[in-house]
Chain A
Amino acid sequence: MTIPTFISWIPVGLLLVTSIGLLLSRDWRWNLGFLAAQYLGMFWLVTFHWPFGLASIKLVTGWMATATLGVTRLEMGDTPTEPESTQMPQGRFFRLLAASIVAILVIASTPQVETIIPGISRPVIIGGLLLAGMGLLHLGLTAEVLRVILGLLTVMAGFELLYATVETSILLAGLLSIVNLGLALAGAYLMTAAPSEEAEEFE
């Protein structure tokens, strides 16, 4: 199936917006919204290489993980939103700068990945690398449980996007779904184990 070039770049744009949004937003509701949208973009790109039915596993799993985190966070009550820090290296400007460096690195390394994984479309490479890079950046900038889990889910989403082009095993798709759901459940468990501490941090 030939996909018009401009359409295949729409999900990449979506992933760019959601991954940067995840990095910049301080509100957990926005974060989970960005995560859900991120899985939609990822699913869209996976359909370039996988049948629609199999690709939908990624979307359903991602949304289930998002719902798990959302319900848990909702149960914890409305703790104050994390205050925005203006100091380096936590400020919004710094994060945006770091995100743009990641984006530049992704664009620079795309041709090389194209030679390593032949037959893979450029939007999928950029989407996958972007998610993995932003996820790693996220992990490097935070020690908060929810954000760590969001970072890990983003890294995994980026990897799964790239790996989907080379491996179509149903067992592996199932196992990776278990890993994603497990990460969300582990995150939910860790969040509920620390409600008081997080509330203290935000005060």
Chain B
Amino acid sequence: MNAPILWIFLPLALGGFLLLFRHERVLTILGGTSVLVLSLLAMLIPIDVALGSDAFSFKLAGSLNVLGRSFVLETADGPLLAILYGLAAMWFFGAESLGLARRLIPLGLAILSLLVAAIAVRPFLFAAVFIEIAVLLSVPMLLPPSQRPGRGILRYLIFQTLAVPFILLAGWLLTGLETSPGDVTLTIQSTAMLALGFAFLLAVFPFYTWIPMLMEESPPYLVGFLLWLLPQTTALFAMGFLDRYPFLRLSTELLDALRAAGLLMVISAGLWAMFQRHLGRLMGYAAVAETGFLLIALSLGTANGIQLVFLQIIPRGLGLAVWALSLSTIQSHTDTPRFSNVQGMARILPFASAGVVFANLSVAGFPLLAGFPVRMALLESLARQSLGLTLWLALGLLGLTVGAVRTLAVTTLSEAEAGWSSRETRTQFVLIALGVLALIVLGFFPQASQFLLKNLPALFENLGQ
């Protein structure tokens, strides 16, 4: 058996196979269970390690050659695969309660497997092409045939596609630098090209305009799935570059640029979130801020910073899932989730409204929620380098908190005599409640996820050393 076949080609084929099914429940059971099993397998079976006795030995090979290039999954990839497939299971099981299983599960599974392929492919710069193919697959997922495309989806397609040439050319230039490491001009050219490529791919300021637009145009749950998966995988891809090329990871200019970009994203997203009147756009800005946090953690240039990048994976995935599920539940009861339409919504959808507020507060690093330990550690690490920048980061977090407080105020504001009821379906109620509970548990016991995260830095042998 082969790890790339198990975690790349099998889910890809399964995604294609699931396109044949029309029944939401069947799709959810098949898709959700499959990714859950894949997650458990990733957790239980070490890759490239011989198991069993002399009589019966089993080894899951980590490498597969395809047309002269290879896909490599190593032992250290196991926990990452477990997290990605585990969180995907959460998204897939939630899709049925919103009637989105047919749109999310087959294509979502294919997208997930392509993004795992992006992590596994060697040479690793080919990952840009796999990410682009995943982006193209996401177009029919985001837009139903009956809906006209808006500017958001077109910008998304343009920006993500433009990243491919820049990253591939930068990769080629970097290969040239391996043979002549002292070439300053080539270094500047390749770094600039790489930075531009990742700015498109990670939707770095000012290329993130498509995110709030898409949040308005498409179902938040589907956009949320992409906003969770795409930046996460892209960040790992970017870390691959930093890990491989010492002049990149040791460049103070690059680290400063990463920090500036991250802070700009957090501050601008925080400020927009502060004055936002559309719940979908608010979630979009929070996702932008999350990517900003990732960049800031990377820019610390320390082993601690790398730990912080990995520490964000679960709270980010969980927070976005709860937020997207809750928001989609609210959106199913109103035309558009503008403040004017969701006023008093907590009276009829208390759990969904609470889910939105809790998830928002978690992203903002509110105490005792999943995002809090990560934000605290980030603030602390940044404060060791610059107190001024820490204050700017805190300003961004404040903006996100104000967004959550305004949401809370609007959703609970209602006629004095209006009564309370719960119109969420039982599945929605259970999933949102479990999600919020998980956000709280991870806030109280952040070490609960450590068994999955502790070995992840081994994915990058040089980074943060």
Where the two chains meet, the residues of A that have a C-beta atom closer than 8 Å to any C-beta of B are 116, 132, 139, 143, 145, 148, 151-152, 155-156, 159, 162-163, 166-167, 169-172, 174-176, 178-179, 182-183, 185-186, 189-190, 192-194, 196-197
Contact = CB atoms under 8 A, between A and B. Distances in A.
Interface of B: 66-69, 126, 129-130, 132-133, 136-137, 139-140, 143-149, 151, 153-154, 157-158, 161-162, 164-165, 168-169, 172-173, 186, 189
A95 B139 CA distance: 30
Given A175-B133, A176-B129, A194-B149, A156 B161 contact: yes
A200 B403 CA distance: 38
- Top 6 A-B pairs ranked by shortest CB distance? A159-B165, A182-B136, A194-B148, A171-B67, A175-B129, A186-B139
B336 to A, nearest CB: 18
B154 A143 contact: yes
B189 A116 contact: yes
Contacts of B164: 156, 159, 179
B129 A193 contact: no
Contact of A186 (B67, B68, B136, B147): B136
Contacts of B189: 116
A163 B168 contact: yes
B158 A171 contact: no
A39 B232 CA distance: 35
Contacts of A132: 165
Q: Is the interface of A mostly helix, strand, loop or mixed?
A: helix
Contacts, number: 94
Contact of B147 (A145, A176, A193): A193
B149 A190 contact: yes
A167 B68 CA distance: 13
Given A186-B136, A193-B148, A197-B148, 19 more contacts: A132-B165, A143-B154, A152-B158, A156-B161, A156-B164, A169-B68, A172-B69, A175-B126, A175-B129, A178-B133, A179-B132, A182-B133, A186-B139, A189-B140, A189-B143, A189-B145, A190-B153, A190-B154, A193-B145
Nearest to A162: B169
Contacts of B139: 186, 189-190
Contacts of A175: 126, 129-130, 133
B149 A193 contact: yes
Given A143-B151, A143-B154, A172-B129, A179 B136 contact: yes
13 contacts: A143-B151, A143-B154, A156-B161, A156-B164, A167-B172, A171-B66, A172-B126, A179-B129, A179-B133, A182-B136, A182-B137, A190-B154, A193-B143
B140 A166 contact: no
Contacts of B129: 172, 175-176, 178-179
Q: Counting chain B CB atoms within 10 Å of each CB, which of A156, A174, A193 scores highest?
A: A193
A190 B164 CA distance: 21
A183 B154 CA distance: 11
Contacts of A139: 158
A167 B167 CA distance: 14
Contact of A170 (B67, B130, B148, B168): B67
B330 to A, nearest CB: 25
Given A163-B168, A163-B172, A186 B126 contact: no
A197 B126 CA distance: 37
Given A171-B126, A193-B143, A148 B165 contact: no
Nearest to B190: A116
Contacts of B186: 116
Contacts of A178: 129, 133
Contacts of A166: 172
A148 B133 contact: no
Contacts of A167: 168, 172
Nearest to B175: A166
Contacts of A185: 136
Contact of A152 (B69, B157, B168, B169): B157
Nearest to A174: B67
A29 B41 CA distance: 52
Contact of B161 (A116, A155, A171): A155
Contacts of A143: 151, 154
Contacts of A145: 149, 154
Nearest to B172: A166
A53 B263 CA distance: 49
A148 B129 CA distance: 19
B218 to A, nearest CB: 12
Contacts of B69: 169, 171-172
Contact of A116 (B67, B148, B157, B173): B173
Nearest to A192: B145
Contacts of A186: 136, 139-140, 157
Contacts of B132: 179, 182
A151 B164 CA distance: 15
Contacts of A163: 165, 168-169, 172
Contacts of B165: 132, 155-156, 159, 163
A178 B164 CA distance: 13
A197 B148 CA distance: 7
B67 A196 contact: no
A148 to B, nearest CB: 5
A176 B382 CA distance: 40
A192 B139 CA distance: 13
Q: Counting chain B CB atoms within 10 Å of each CB, which of A139, A178, A190 scores highest?
A: A190
Nearest to B148: A194
Contacts of A169: 67-69
A196 B146 CA distance: 10
Q: Counting chain A CB atoms within 10 Å of each CB, which of B136, B144, B153 scores highest?
A: B136
Nearest to A139: B158
Contacts of B146: 193
A42 B350 CA distance: 59
Q: Counting chain A CB atoms within 10 Å of each CB, which of B69, B137, B139, B145 scores highest?
A: B139
Contacts of B169: 159, 162-163
Contacts of B67: 169-171, 174
Contacts of B137: 182
A91 B139 CA distance: 31
